[in-house]
Structure formats: C-alpha cells, structure tokens
Amino acid sequence: MSFFDFKSETHATKLLIADHREVDALFTEFESADDSAKKASIVTRICRSLTVHAEIEEKIFYPESRRVLDKDDQDMVDEAFVEHASLKGLIMRLDGMKPGDALFGAYVTVLKEYVQHHVKEEESEYFPKVEKTGLDLDALGARMKTLKDQLMAEMSKTPMKRGQVVAKLLPSVSLERRAGLMRKAA
C-alpha cells in the first residue's frame, strides 16, 4: 500500500491525480481508436474533462494553495495558471473539428504533451509542497468534488455531435484575474 491509499476519497490531491489518470486513459483510448466518430467522441470527453479539471483547480485548489505556500513557491502557482491558458487555447482550436480535418491529429498530440508536462510538474513538485502545508486537503477536496459534480452535470447538457468535437469552455475572466494577480496602477 502507498501513502496515496491512506488518503480519504475527498482528499484534494487524490481527486486531482484521479482526474489525471482518467484523462491519460482517454488519450490511450484515442490512440487505439480506428473510427473517426469514436475519435471525435473521445476527444470531446478529453476536452470536457480537462475543462472541468482546470476549473476546479483555478477556482478552488490554486487560490487555496497560493494562500499557504511560501513566497518562493508562488511562481509554481502562476505557471500552473499559464499552462491552463495554453491548454484552453488548444481545446478551443479542437472545438468543432473533425478527425479528418487538417491539424486535428497534431492538436490532439500537442494537447496530450502539454497535459503530460503539466501533470508531471503538479504531481512531482506542486502537490508534495501543498501536502506539507497545514491546508485541510480533505475539506478542500470535498469542495472540489461538489464543484466538479455540478460542472460535469452542466457539461452533460451540451449534446455531442457524431464525428465532431464539442468542447465547451466555461466562461471565465482574464488570466491575471483568475490567478489573483491584478496589477497595481503605476
């Protein structure tokens, strides 16, 4: 048994890591799919999962972790927000695409590579630092699970289109505002 096994079902980092594994499995499923309608459906699921995951991190996990992390670790939070912005840009590009469209495969490949890079940094650097703070990760995870359930229910209302990616991004404010970094007037 690992330390991971002893964490509660609502432990924040356990929930986030489970999301990471789910998306990784979807990328693997995409790579073995041989039907274009199935590929589009899988990419839609990837995009929706990533959108919801990013939202719970940006609205709950990142702000709470920023509050408790040392000043030296604030750049890590900023980088996570910027990486999310890049991922959202790729998701927007995929929205409405079909597997036969030019650059479709390239966008999915780059999205996978960005996700893998982001996951590696979070799991090897960010999460361990947050776990060493006094942050109540069980209570935080419960809030995150509630928001995730709400967002997934909302996402499920957007109908799928056979053979086409339907990636609905959630409305949001500017990156600086999401990251809590509004510039002071000079």
pLDDT digits (tens, 9 = 90+) for 67-117: 999 999 999 999 999 999 999 999 999 999 999 999 999 999 999 999 999
In this prediction, residues 5-20 reach a mean pLDDT of 85
Instruction: Residue 122: name the closest of 8, 3, 27, 19 by CA.
Output: 19
pLDDT digits (tens, 9 = 90+) for 139-160: 999 999 999 999 999 888 888 8
**What is d(CA 80, CA 122) in angstroms, rounded to the nearest whole number?**
8
**What is d(CA 144, CA 8) in angstroms, rounded to the nearest whole number?**
14
